[in-house]
Chains A and B, each alone.
Chain A
Amino acid sequence: MNKANKKELGVGIFFAVLSIFYIAESRNVSTFTPFGNRGLDSQSIPAMIGWLSIALSAILIVSTILKDRKERKGSVEQQEQICDPDQVACIDPPKGAKLQGILQVVPLKLMLSLLFLFFYFLFYQRIGFILSSIFYLLSQSFLLTEKGKRKKWALFIILFSIGVSVLIYFIFTRYFTLFLPRGILG
């Protein structure tokens, strides 16, 4: 199965599993029909959404499998003319190829960005807006700066992170009357 079809199949399976879970969970929803059930209750729409999703996932899965079979049939016919399976040598993938493959799908910068975001929100209320924002801006800006240029940018990024965090805090709390957590600085 080629990459595009694998992706389509993955999408179909994901939605099918999600829909099954969703329908199962919708049965736990309490219903309230004091005047008799003349229409739908609180379970009905989730059930409708779930069943429709299952039907559409099934269509996606089946159509992808059929499409793949059709494509394979065509490619096998072509391969039969140009390739002798006995003469094909098996070559081990180079070292680190698996990790490279994962990083191609989910780049390291993306994973680290998510991690920084997670810690930023985790400590947002605990250590306060100013400190958590300084740490976040510092780490994320350094991460996005090209490796060779980090030294050149260091001073600017540090001053920018501190200055912007303090400035935003004062502008928002003083002039826009929003509440932002003070944390350990409060």
Chain B
Amino acid sequence: MFGMLLEGFGAVFTDPLSIIMIFIGTTVGIVFGALPGLTTVAGLSMFLPITYAMSSGTGLSMLTAIYIGGMSGGLISAILLNIPGTPSSIATCFDGSPMAKNGQAGRALGLAVFASLIGTAISLLVMVVLSPTLANLTIKFGPWEYFSVTVFALTLISSLTGKSIVKGLLSALFGMMFATVGLSPIDSAKRFTFGSLQLTSGFNLLAVLVGLYAISEVLSTAGSEQQKAQVREYKMRGLGFTLKDIKGQGINFVRSSLIGLGIGILPGIGGSTSNIIAYSVAKTSSKHPEKFGTGIPDGIIASEASNNASIGGAMIPLLTLGIPGDGATAILLGGFMLHGMQPGPLLFQSNGATVYQIFASMILSMIVMALVMYLGMRVIVKILKVPANILLPLIVVLCAIGAYALNNRVFDMWGLILFGVIGLAMSKAGIPAPPFILGFILESAFETNLRRGLEYSNGNFLEVFTRPISATFLVLAIVSLAATLYKQYKPKKATSEE
């Protein structure tokens, strides 16, 4: 494994273009993460077409670099503007902003970058060690195992995202409906094409992703009143903090990173949830919980270590099962497919060298992220002042190139508008988007494996319960649904009793 990783480093360091793209990708990610209203997903959507002409290793290295940079960039606006650049940095505001308000913005930034570095390092280490082992395990999966994993992922994401489980499940089914447009798996029957030749190939995953995340984001920002926030002044010498600041924080670093890693593995809830949970855990297990929220290092470390640790976590199911952990990894899945690679158990066998090149580039991106943040903070802070009226239209133009370049047809661009409007309507109606995306992505695997499983077992569905792995995942799916229903019913009961 480590020999392959060394070969991956060799591939990265012998290709100057790869190093340049990692640097550009990380910087772009940081800027997108730092700008409130823009997310890592928008950055990935925008830069995906640029990777078309690159080799798969270089292109995917750039995309993963944007992912790492984007997850970290949010801390800048959280500390200097008191506005989280991404949902992953919400908890960073709690202590980062008060610390900056007390005239210690440089210390807050320094600590947050260091915590991001440690969180990313721990999660990447686990990802490198665990992914090949899990891939070896999942290679033995048959149709029933795959079917039950997809059911588990869909029910889990529907229960964990949004406030209502019914709306979460409806969102997943809505996504599955769009995925059934085109030719059916196994027997290639035309479905819901309404006589259109264009619809026969179905909706392109990238058009759906970019429309749902990037275009709807631009439309939503266009429809809202822009608020300008004051960027706080800061001074940062060296790393910005002293050894005294991180003394006794070892457990906080490791615990928060593990929380981020664990949550990142679950589909649909990445850094946006892990930072709040890690912050709460750090507060409840602290000897001085009353100091949280006043600008102490503990809160900043918990939030930033956990959100960055979800990167490695989200990559594990993507690489081993082909199931994305969050919106950004859903775009990465599209990136893998565009470069002719199918994430899943066979990925390590069929494209092992490229996968280890990506691992190596992610480790390099992590170091570049810290260097860019420490050395280039002044420039990034200046970019925070770039107005939305210039930036948003440019994002649309680049996303349109991405959609058009897929098949050189305008049909995929109409998909951007369709899914952009759907994404906007869903957000206004309080319907979570992640289940929709996962439903769209997993429908094919769900249908193919269910049909194959039934054919192998002569139509006997109960066989799914006779296999330990598939039975376990189905039981987990039922438990996650039941637990969410109980959680949603419990507060109502409590209030009605009052």
Chain B residues whose CB sits within 8 angstroms of the CB of A120 once the complex forms: 396, 400
Further 4 A-B residue pairs, CB within 8 A, beyond A42-B191, A113-B223, A177-B53: A26-B192, A39-B454, A141-B389, A168-B397
As a 0/1 sequence over residues 164 to 183 of chain A, the CB contacts with chain B under 8 angstroms (1 = contact) are 11001000100111111100
Among residues of B, the one whose C-beta sits closest to the C-beta of A121 is: B413
Chain B residues whose CB sits within 8 angstroms of the CB of A38 once the complex forms: 454-455, 458-459
> B166: CB under 8 A from chain A?
yes
> A49: CB under 8 A from chain B?
yes
Given A109-B222, A141-B389, A165-B397: A40 touches B454 (CB 8 Å cut-off): yes
Closest CB of chain B to A170's CB: distance in Å?
13
> B318: CB under 8 A from chain A?
no
List 6 interface pairs A-B (beta carbons < 8 Å), by A numbering.
A7-B429, A22-B192, A39-B459, A45-B450, A49-B177, A117-B396
As a 0/1 sequence over residues 214 to 249 of chain B, the CB contacts with chain A under 8 angstroms (1 = contact) are 010011101110100000000000000000000000
> A143: CB under 8 A from chain B?
yes
Bound CA span A141–B393, Å: 6
A10: contacting residue among B164, B224, B429, B451, CB under 8 A: B429
Closest 6 A/B residue pairs (Cβ)? A39-B454, A110-B223, A144-B389, A42-B189, A140-B393, A42-B184
Within 8 A of B (CB), among A146-186: 153, 157, 160, 164-165, 168, 172, 175-181
Residues of A within 8 A of B (CB): 7, 10-11, 15, 18, 22, 25-26, 29-32, 37-42, 44-46, 49-50, 52-53, 56-57, 59-60, 63, 105-107, 109-110, 113-114, 117-118, 120-121, 124-125, 129, 133, 136-137, 140-141, 143-145, 153, 157, 160, 164-165, 168, 172, 175-181
Which of the candidate stretches B26-34, B297-305, B401-409, B475-483 sits at the interface with the other chain?
B401-409
> B465: CB under 8 A from chain A?
no
Q: Let me know if A52 and B173 touch, CB within 8 A.
A: yes
Q: Let me know if A30 and B393 touch, CB within 8 A.
A: no
Judged by DSSP, the binding face of B is helix
Among residues of B, the one whose C-beta sits closest to the C-beta of A15 is: B170
Bound CA span A130–B294, Å: 52
> B176: CB under 8 A from chain A?
yes
Among residues of A, the one whose C-beta sits closest to the C-beta of B430 is: A7
> B126: CB under 8 A from chain A?
no
Closest CB of chain B to A99's CB: distance in Å?
16
Q: Let me know if B450 and A121 touch, CB within 8 A.
A: no
Which residue among B192, B393, B400 has the maximum number of chain A CB atoms within 10 Å of its CB? B393
Chain B residues whose CB sits within 8 angstroms of the CB of A179 once the complex forms: 405, 408
Bound CA span A137–B390, Å: 8
Q: Let me know if A172 and B170 touch, CB within 8 A.
A: no
Closest CB of chain B to A105's CB: distance in Å?
8
Q: Let me know if B401 and A180 touch, CB within 8 A.
A: yes
Bound CA span A132–B443, Å: 36
Chain A residues whose CB sits within 8 angstroms of the CB of B413 once the complex forms: 121, 124
> B169: CB under 8 A from chain A?
yes
Bound CA span A153–B447, Å: 53
Bound CA span A60–B450, Å: 28
> B392: CB under 8 A from chain A?
yes
Among residues of A, the one whose C-beta sits closest to the C-beta of B388 is: A144
Closest CB of chain A to B397's CB: distance in Å?
5
Q: Let me know if A113 and B222 touch, CB within 8 A.
A: yes
Q: Let me know if A168 and B398 touch, CB within 8 A.
A: yes
Q: Let me know if B166 and A59 touch, CB within 8 A.
A: yes
Bound CA span A16–B31, Å: 42
Closest CB of chain A to B104's CB: distance in Å?
34
Q: Let me know if B417 and A118 touch, CB within 8 A.
A: yes
Chain B residues whose CB sits within 8 angstroms of the CB of A46 once the complex forms: 177, 180, 191-192
Bound CA span A63–B446, Å: 29
Chain A residues whose CB sits within 8 angstroms of the CB of B187 once the complex forms: 31-32, 41-42
Chain A residues whose CB sits within 8 angstroms of the CB of B388 once the complex forms: 144
Bound CA span A160–B53, Å: 26
Q: Let me know if A176 and B447 touch, CB within 8 A.
A: no
A11: contacting residue among B169, B222, B431, CB under 8 A: B431
Q: Let me know if A56 and B223 touch, CB within 8 A.
A: no
Bound CA span A40–B456, Å: 12
Among residues of B, the one whose C-beta sits closest to the C-beta of A4 is: B430
Bound CA span A60–B413, Å: 33
Closest CB of chain B to A145's CB: distance in Å?
5
Q: Let me know if B191 and A172 touch, CB within 8 A.
A: no
> B52: CB under 8 A from chain A?
yes
Q: Let me know if B405 and A137 touch, CB within 8 A.
A: no
Among residues of B, the one whose C-beta sits closest to the C-beta of A171 is: B50
Chain A residues whose CB sits within 8 angstroms of the CB of B443 once the complex forms: 45
Chain B residues whose CB sits within 8 angstroms of the CB of A178 once the complex forms: 49, 52-53, 401, 405
Closest CB of chain B to A127's CB: distance in Å?
12
Q: Let me know if A136 and B396 touch, CB within 8 A.
A: yes
Given A38-B455, A172-B49: A140 touches B223 (CB 8 Å cut-off): no
Chain B residues whose CB sits within 8 angstroms of the CB of A31 once the complex forms: 187, 189
Given A25-B192, A121-B410: A144 touches B392 (CB 8 Å cut-off): yes
> B190: CB under 8 A from chain A?
yes
A109: contacting residue among B174, B186, B190, B223, CB under 8 A: B223
As a 0/1 sequence over residues 430 to 453 of chain B, the CB contacts with chain A under 8 angstroms (1 = contact) are 110000000000010011001101
Bound CA span A40–B184, Å: 12
> B167: CB under 8 A from chain A?
yes
Closest CB of chain A to B170's CB: distance in Å?
5
Closest CB of chain A to B439's CB: distance in Å?
9
